[in-house]
Amino acid sequence: MDTKTLASLLPILLGIAWLLPLASFTLIVLFGPRMGKHGVGASYLATLAIVSGFACSVVALGLWMWVHPLSSAHAAAPEESIDAARQHEAVVDHGADGHASGHHELKTPIYYTGDLYTLGQFGKLKVTISFYIDALTVGMFAMVTLIASCIHFYAIGYMHDELHDVTDHEVVLSDGHHLHRPGRFHRFFQYLSLFCFSMLGLVYAGNIAMVFVFWELVGICSYFLIGFYIERKSASNAANKAFIVNRVGDFGMIIGLMALWGGIGTFAFGDMEEPDGTTSRGIFSQVRDAENGYKLTIPDGMVRATVPEVVEEVAVDHRNNPDPLAAESEIASRLSTYREQHYGYWLLVIAGVGIFCGCVGKSAQFPLHVWLPDAMEGPTPVSALVHSATMVAAGVYLTGRFYPVFTPEARLVIAYCGAITLFLAATIAITATDIKRVLAYSTVSQLGYMMLALGVGGWVAGLFHLITHAFFKSLLFLCSGSVIHACHTNEMPKMGGLLKKMPWTGYTMLVGCLAIIGAGLPPVFGFWPFGFGLSGFYSKDSIIAQAYSFWTENPTHGMILFAAAAGGASITAFYMFRLWFMTFIGPPRDHHIYDHAHESPRIMYLPLVILAFFAVVIGWTWPGVWGVTDLLEQARWPAEASAGVLLPNLHYPDEHESHVPAVHLVAGLTAFSTALGGFLLATVFYGVRWLNAAEARQQFAPIYTFLVNKWYFDELYDFLWVRPAHVVAGVVSWFDKQVIDGFINNLARWTRGLADIDDLIDRYFVDGLVNLTAAWTWSFGNSLRGLQTGKLRQYVMLIVIGTVALTIIINFASAG
């Protein structure tokens, strides 16, 4: 088979992987409670669906790498020049629908796109279900399905309580008893399936409208799952918070979508063959025009949208021109002038920042990071899924997907957002004592890393970290779930010394911790050109390298961003090992809990082992055969090298430059030393306990309080938004009650009064009139009754009298 035929299998394979969870969801919705005892069959069905999806994804990944062999230029030979790396890239086959480029060095990445089904066409607007498959899509599919499969297996064990009636000890009813409710085992798996379907659809989507739909589906699934224990006040609050905070971001996203569609007139990502043989250009190729050297180009539509008066003027001028194309060509000739004057640039900035707003909400970036820690109210498998492969990954994924559209200004916003988030979350994580909360803040912090990487131009680095992080963060969450399962508490101060009781959990979690801090041997020790370590080591190194590379080009911004990245790495190491030491090492702090702790069942710790394996190896590269970075490299748009309009001095270094040894060595050493510093500090405080953590806490009391209160963000938002909203609501309610209700009540009172008067008129006047007539008639008839004597002879006499009288009257009348 030729490559084209093989490649055409990709949409089918991934489509199957995408739709299987939907089928599972539908079946569970319809037949869930009847699937086996207490709906236990639902878990098997959902797991089967996602595992099959994983199989499809793996086949698709293999197919992809068969059709498009990886080039491992920079990884294998870092000493090669950047040009060489680019040439290797140029060798890569461009995709079936790829737009052929005259340039030799820069190439449009390989992608396959097409419409599956057209939902509707409204003038220019075409809403379709379409796919856009490139290396990133394939990689994400494999990652999401693999992690989701592990989590499904784990959840079968974790959620077994829901198989029978549950007494929820955290809910106290008004009568003082605890809530007793039937189990919801099947419903949990039903939501999990929908969640996987939504996330896969988001990755599969080939246009921004479809992305938005699945974006919201992911949001609603997280709402369901965070609020799974809906009877708990905290859970329902957290679910609401997650949903509402996401709405704030989505508002920005809708603005971005409007700007994009208004300016470009299409939702599709890639160029698409129309049925009539023409090619309709997608968003990416319009913004990054190959003929323009992939420089940021303001699309014609956006320029046009900003100068409507010119378009109108030209149209008026050519009113009488017989050639219908004359006006168009006139406008086109004028547009280039306006483009040079940067008309429409703002629209592009707004589109980029707007879409990033949505990502801020989904990926819990500052300032919308507040929902993610509260989302810990959901069951732990959900947390693992939300924090690694689905919900929060969606934001980073979309930022990466829309990377070509972002202007330098938008990228700087992204970078700063990420930097602030990563530092903020890391500091809060230091003081948190809830094991899941530490991990939650760690997630926020790591997401900040990814955003930072994307913001400073490290596209591959950011998405690479997304994938590696997904593995070790899901591992860490499942481990924490295992611990909670054993201890029935989330509080780390009540744990300690659990390593003996739960070796599987303990050691796999250690692997996760090492991965997240980026443990490894920096290149200076030199077995391997890039050093050697766990997966996190590679991804974090490349982020820091890119930040450093950015610093070399932009002194001011670069320094701040690099410092945030390096500092964050140190803090990450500290809080992760604080967590591990507090949980697994040292004397048991609460003997009751310690005595009852036990290792989790095999179905729960086997996924841990699988995930731990991947957390170690996923970052490894086998030149020419396997490497996540090389895979991602195939999907990268050549989107560098364009100066911003507002920030003309901002220079984005090419990502390949970060692989230059000079840069990489510095970055690697920095990362290694900061992480080591954090690790040692944690060991000193919590591992060997040479220093007393409590004393340090007292010494830095103000900072500690500040951090424990999470930088007072909740309070700030409460003050800024919630209170004013309450005040406004109170005023509105008062207005409603007093003015509107009063008005309506008065109106009603008046109406009633009027009706009463009307009633009186009716009763006494109208009825009186009728009754009077009736009474008259009756009395008249009554008076006539006397005449009706029934005496025949009397009648005869009356007739005679009448006759006589009539005759006399007529006589007199005629005589008179």
Partner 1 sequence: MNPLLEPVGVSHFMAVGALMFVCGVVCMATKRNALGVLMGIELVLNGANINFVALSSSFLSASGKSGLGLDGQFIALFVIVLAAAEAAVALAITLNFYNNHATVDVDRADELKG
Partner 2 sequence: MESINWHSFFFFLFALVSCGFAVMVVLSSNIVRMAFYLTISLGATAGLFFLAGADFIGAMQLMIYVGGTLVLLVFGVMLTAQGPFVSMKTRGGDWILAAVLSGSLLALLVPAAFTVREWRGPSPVDAVARMEPTSTPLGMGLLGIRVDKLEDRPEKLKEGMSSYLLPFEIVSVHLLVVLVGAAYLARTKRRRDVRMESL
Residue reference for tokens 């005869």? 796
Residue 37 interacts, among partner 2, partner 1, none and using kind-specific CB cut-offs from 5 to 8 Å, with: none
Assigned token pair, 93: 């086959």
Query: Which residue's CB is nearer to partner 1, number 556 or number 782?
Result: 782
Q: Rounded to whole angstroms, how far apart are CA atoms 588 and 496?
A: 4
Residue type, 720: L
Query: Which residue's CB is nearer to partner 1, number 723 or number 791?
Result: 791
| Least gap, CB of 778 to partner 1 (angstroms) | 13
Query: Which residue's CB is nearer to partner 1, number 739 or number 810?
Result: 810
Taking CB under 8 A as the criterion, the residue among 559, 696, 760, 804 binding partner 2 is 804
> Under rule CB under 8 A, which residues in 563-622 are in contact with partner 2?
none
Helices (H) and strands (E) in the chain, counts: 33, 8
Closest CA to 350 of 420, 283, 252: 252
93 SS3 class? coil
CB 193 within 8 A of CB 46: yes
Other beta carbons within 10 angstroms of residue 140's beta carbon come to: 28
Query: Which residue's CB is nearer to partner 1, number 120 or number 790?
Result: 790
Taking CB under 8 A as the criterion, the residue among 118, 649, 692, 807 binding partner 2 is 807
Instruction: Convert 268-281 to b/e letters by CB count within 10 Å (16 or more is b).
Output: bbbbbeeeeeeeeb
| Least gap, CB of 797 to partner 1 (angstroms) | 5
| Least gap, CB of 816 to partner 1 (angstroms) | 25
Query: Which residue's CB is nearer to partner 1, number 701 or number 792?
Result: 792
| Least gap, CB of 783 to partner 1 (angstroms) | 10
| Least gap, CB of 802 to partner 1 (angstroms) | 12
Burial label, 113 (beta-carbon count in 10 A; 0-12, 13-18, 19+): buried
Residue reference for tokens 């037949």? 31
Query: Which residue's CB is nearer to partner 2, number 701 or number 813?
Result: 813
Query: Which residue's CB is nearer to partner 2, number 8 or number 803?
Result: 803
Residue 336 is a binding residue for partner 2 (CB under 8 A) = no
Residue 787 interacts, among partner 2, partner 1, none and using kind-specific CB cut-offs from 5 to 8 Å, with: partner 1
Residue 807 interacts, among partner 1, partner 2, none and using kind-specific CB cut-offs from 5 to 8 Å, with: partner 2
Closest CA to 208 of 164, 246, 260, 170: 260
Other beta carbons within 10 angstroms of residue 669's beta carbon come to: 16
Residue type, 102: G
| Least gap, CB of 779 to partner 2 (angstroms) | 29
Query: The dihedral of CA 171, 172, 174, 177: what is its sign?
Result: positive
Burial label, 319 (beta-carbon count in 10 A; 0-12, 13-18, 19+): exposed
Residue 801 is a binding residue for partner 2 (CB under 8 A) = yes
Query: The dihedral of CA 48, 616, 661, 572: what is its sign?
Result: positive
Residue 716 is a binding residue for partner 2 (CB under 8 A) = no
| Least gap, CB of 815 to partner 1 (angstroms) | 21
* Strand 279-280 to 520-521 pairing: unpaired
Query: Which residue's CB is nearer to partner 2, number 1 or number 813?
Result: 813
Query: Which residue's CB is nearer to partner 2, number 332 or number 804?
Result: 804
In whole angstroms, how large is the CA radius of gyration of the chain? 37
Residue reference for tokens 């370590």? 533
Closest CA to 673 of 448, 471, 490, 519: 519
Residue 699 interacts, among partner 2, partner 1, none and using kind-specific CB cut-offs from 5 to 8 Å, with: none
Taking CB under 8 A as the criterion, the residue among 800, 812, 814, 816 binding partner 2 is 800
> Under rule CB under 8 A, which residues in 778-797 are in contact with partner 2?
793, 797
How many chain residues touch partner 2 (CB under 8 A)? Answer: 8
Residue 808 interacts, among partner 2, partner 1, none and using kind-specific CB cut-offs from 5 to 8 Å, with: partner 2
| Least gap, CB of 788 to partner 2 (angstroms) | 19
Residue 803 is a binding residue for partner 2 (CB under 8 A) = yes
Choices 245-253, 373-381, 769-777, 798-806 (CB under 8 A): range interacting with partner 2: 798-806
Residue 720 is a binding residue for partner 2 (CB under 8 A) = no
| Least gap, CB of 749 to partner 1 (angstroms) | 53
Q: Rounded to whole angstroms, how far apart are CA atoms 295 and 340?
A: 13
Choices 94-102, 359-367, 641-649, 802-810 (CB under 8 A): range interacting with partner 2: 802-810
C-alpha distance from residue 70 to each of 67, 538, 628, 769 (Å): 9, 18, 10, 103
Residue 804 interacts, among partner 1, partner 2, none and using kind-specific CB cut-offs from 5 to 8 Å, with: partner 2
| Least gap, CB of 779 to partner 1 (angstroms) | 13
| Least gap, CB of 784 to partner 1 (angstroms) | 7
Burial label, 553 (beta-carbon count in 10 A; 0-12, 13-18, 19+): middle
**Helix, strand, coil share (%) of the chain residues, nearest 5:** 70, 5, 20
| Least gap, CB of 744 to partner 1 (angstroms) | 59
| Least gap, CB of 805 to partner 2 (angstroms) | 10
Query: Which residue's CB is nearer to partner 2, number 336 or number 807?
Result: 807
Query: Which residue's CB is nearer to partner 1, number 325 or number 800?
Result: 800
Chain centroid to CA 122: how far?
Answer: 27
| Least gap, CB of 816 to partner 2 (angstroms) | 17
- E strands in 404-501: none
Backbone angles phi, psi at 148, to 5 degrees: -60, -35
Q: Rounded to whole angstroms, how far apart are CA atoms 394 and 212?
A: 11
Q: Rounded to whole angstroms, how far apart are CA atoms 122 and 115?
A: 16
Residue 705 interacts, among partner 1, partner 2, none and using kind-specific CB cut-offs from 5 to 8 Å, with: none
| Least gap, CB of 777 to partner 1 (angstroms) | 15
Other beta carbons within 10 angstroms of residue 318's beta carbon come to: 18
Closest CA to 552 of 643, 685, 654: 654
Q: Rounded to whole angstroms, how far apart are CA atoms 179 and 229?
A: 11
Biggest alpha carbon distance in the chain? 156
Q: Rounded to whole angstroms, how far apart are CA atoms 40 and 57?
A: 26
| Least gap, CB of 798 to partner 2 (angstroms) | 10
Give the binding site for partner 1 (CB under 8 A): 784-793, 796-797, 800
Chain centroid to CA 602: how far?
Answer: 32
| Least gap, CB of 795 to partner 2 (angstroms) | 13
Choices 118-126, 353-361, 689-697, 799-807 (CB under 8 A): range interacting with partner 2: 799-807
Query: Which residue's CB is nearer to partner 2, number 705 or number 794?
Result: 794
Residue 815 interacts, among partner 2, partner 1, none and using kind-specific CB cut-offs from 5 to 8 Å, with: none
Query: Which residue's CB is nearer to partner 1, number 757 or number 796?
Result: 796
Choices 56-64, 634-642, 716-724, 804-812 (CB under 8 A): range interacting with partner 2: 804-812
Query: Which residue's CB is nearer to partner 1, number 258 or number 800?
Result: 800
Residue reference for tokens 């609603």? 220
Q: What is the DSSP string of 160-189?
A: GGGGS-EEEEEEE-TTSPEEEE---HHHHH
CB 319 within 8 A of CB 213: no
Query: Which residue's CB is nearer to partner 2, number 591 or number 791?
Result: 791
Residue 733 interacts, among partner 2, partner 1, none and using kind-specific CB cut-offs from 5 to 8 Å, with: none
Residue 91 interacts, among partner 2, partner 1, none and using kind-specific CB cut-offs from 5 to 8 Å, with: none
Assigned token pair, 142: 């494999």
Residue 698 interacts, among partner 2, partner 1, none and using kind-specific CB cut-offs from 5 to 8 Å, with: none
Binding site for partner 2 (CB under 8 A): 793, 797, 800-801, 803-804, 807-808
